[in-house]
Amino acid sequence: MQRVIVPGLLAVAALMFARAPYLIDAAPYESTMGLVQKIFYFHVPAAMTSMLSAFVCGIASVLYLWRRRPAADHTALAGAELVVVFGVIALVTGPLWARKAWGVWWQWGDARLTITFVMWMIFVAYLLLRRFGGPGSEVMSAAVGLFGMALVPFVYLSVNFWRTIHPTTDVVRSLPPEMAWPFRWSIVAFVLFYAALVLVRVRLERQRLALDEAYAALEE
Amino acid sequence: MRVTGTLVRVVAVALGLAVVAAVGVLAQEPQTQFVPADTLPQETLPATPLVFAAYAFAWVALVGYVFALWRKIGRVERELADVRSALARRQG
Amino acid sequence: MTTALRAAWLIAAKDLRTEFRSRELVYTTLFFGMACVLVFAFAFAAPSGDAIAGVLWIAVLFSGTVALGRTFERERQNETLRALLLAPVERGAVYLGKLIGLMILLGGLELVLVPIIGILFTAPVGRAPWLLAGLLLSGTLGFAAVGTLFSAMLSRVQSRDILLPVVLYPLTVPVVIAGVEGTAAIFAADPRFDVARMWLAMLIFFDAVFVTLALWTFGAVMRE
């Protein structure tokens, strides 16, 4: 099953990514921001995928804490890593856009950027704990994953009410169709790619576990 | 090592590219002399390098991650096959 | 349920009694809090209401982190954590006992720090004492709830001193935001008590969710 699903997902995602630049180029310029707004077609889907991965990690963490199934732990780890990867993309493309659009590299008042940053930090902490926590770190990091996921609504609430100088505009919902189409295309491409990446990463962990077990068997 | 290696590389590339983009953007032509003007010039920041840097970064990060994963899986699966055949030989 | 609570209180009382004999944790945490305030006094030239709120909460956060590190240090050194977990009480009781002990310590710290900050920075700490107390109590509880859980988990880990803040600070961002904003709303030149109450409500909500979550997770993690 793996042999069909992963290449399948990757193929579809690759095709979509190949088509994306044409769609993005064809999309109209935004009236005030011009060319630089086109970063949005990658920046927002990356941030959304990062948040999606946070939930994947959180749910897998709960399952692991509850049942201690290795598959859940593998998925949680994969999810956490991908939060960081897609998050770093969002956090680098965001300021590149912001510098031109707002004149500053960073704006704490932009709730979504701040939330992405906080969630990114939480899952970096997950990975650090995994790496330096010694034996039993799978369980501890699962607790971080769970809390990370549970925090999303609270971070959202608090950051939104925080710097209310820049009221959060619901850009995504008000997109005109010529922009909505490449935007949705981009999101789908990102999510498909994400799904493929999770599967591959989980497979890597599973194989590593199998390798450890095989070595242990060899030692007997 | 296992978890952080790839990640360190991805983040390092991320930061490297961000720095490159920033430098590219900020390294505007220095002024050689004062030139009087009638109206205040608009501060223009070329958008193209920013857009290019953003997309380049996203691509490199994603492709880089996939590539790193690909290599690691190859290595682990090769090793696994070796150990399993050694086990089989011992039992056989 | 009541046995668990009584057990929790017993554990807290044991900690408090041990502490009362030496008073090490109390004195050092208190002075650490004051040292933080001192540094901030020099770090900010002329702090406004916003910044003073930040000073208070950062001092509490840092002192809390230090106290958290020590809370399980004694257990770890004397290997009594295992004994506690083997005791015929619900796991949750151990967690609650530690949490209560920590809350009492930090509460005492805040009782001292708030007037001092009021004096040093000419902050209107007496303007809405119950509201401020509520914010501090609920904010500290949120921080301590998450902190006690992770401190317990990390007690056997080598680099626990640095891993605890690395894990804890991002996780408690909503608490800090709510606490500082609520306090700043009280300290502002034009105070907004309704805003402060809104943040207080959010903190209480946070506490309800995360104390429950921490209780469950503590049991799930300490199963071994």
Reduce the DSSP state of residue A30 to 3 states and report it: strand
Q: Do B25 and A99 touch (CB under 8 A)?
A: yes
pLDDT surpassing 90 at residue A60: yes
- Is C45 within 8 Å of C67 (Cβ atoms)? no
Torsion of CA B76, B77, B78, B81, to 10 degrees: 120
pLDDT surpassing 80 at residue C139: yes
What residues in chain B have their Cβ under 8 A from chain A's Cβ atoms?
1-4, 6-7, 10-11, 14, 17-18, 21, 25, 45, 47-48, 50-51, 53-55, 57-58, 61-62, 65-66, 69-70, 72-73, 76-77, 79-80, 83-84, 86-87, 90
Across A11-31, b (16+ Cβ under 10 Å) vs e yields ebbeebbeebeebbeebeebe
DSSP class of residue B29? Answer: P
For residue C206, list chain A residues with Cβ-Cβ distance below 8 A.
Answer: 154
Q: In this structure, what token pair is assigned to residue B72?
A: 């690691």
Closest-CA distance of chain A to residue B81, Å = 9
Chains in contact with B, counting 3 or more C-beta pairs less than 8 Å apart as contact? A
Across A112-130, b (16+ Cβ under 10 Å) vs e yields bbbbbbbbbbbbbbbbbbb
pLDDT at A86: 95
Note which residues in 152-171 of chain A have CB less than 8 A from chain C: 154-155, 157-159, 161-162
For residue C173, list chain A residues with Cβ-Cβ distance below 8 A.
Answer: 118, 151, 155, 158
pLDDT at B52: 79
- Establish how many alpha carbons lie within 13 A of residue A52's alpha carbon, considering only the half-sphere containing its beta carbon: 16
Mutation target among C153, C168, C215 for the A interface, most CBs of A within 10 A: C153
Q: Do B86 and A100 touch (CB under 8 A)?
A: no
Q: Give the CA distances from residue A165 to residues A159, A161, B65, C198, in Å, rounded to whole numbers and listed in that order.
A: 12, 10, 37, 18
Q: Do B62 and A85 touch (CB under 8 A)?
A: yes
For residue A193, list chain B residues with Cβ-Cβ distance below 8 A.
Answer: 62
pLDDT at A167: 38
pLDDT at A140: 94
Closest C-alpha to A80, from A171, A170, A178, A198 = A198
Q: Nearest-CA residue of chain A relative to B45?
A: A100
pLDDT in tens, C46-98: 777 788 999 999 999 999 999 998 878 777 766 676 677 777 667 788 889 88
**pLDDT class of A165 with cuts at 50, 70, 90:** very low
Q: Do B3 and A36 touch (CB under 8 A)?
A: no
User: Could you report the predicted ipTM of this complex, rounded to two decimals?
Assistant: 0.87
For residue B25, list chain A residues with Cβ-Cβ distance below 8 A.
Answer: 99
Q: Which of A42-51, B30-39, C57-66 has the lowest mean pLDDT?
A: B30-39
pLDDT surpassing 60 at residue C204: yes
Closest C-alpha to A156, from A51, A71, A41, A58 = A51
pTM, full prediction: 0.83
DSSP class of residue A176? Answer: -
Q: Does C155 touch chain A (CB under 8 A)?
A: no
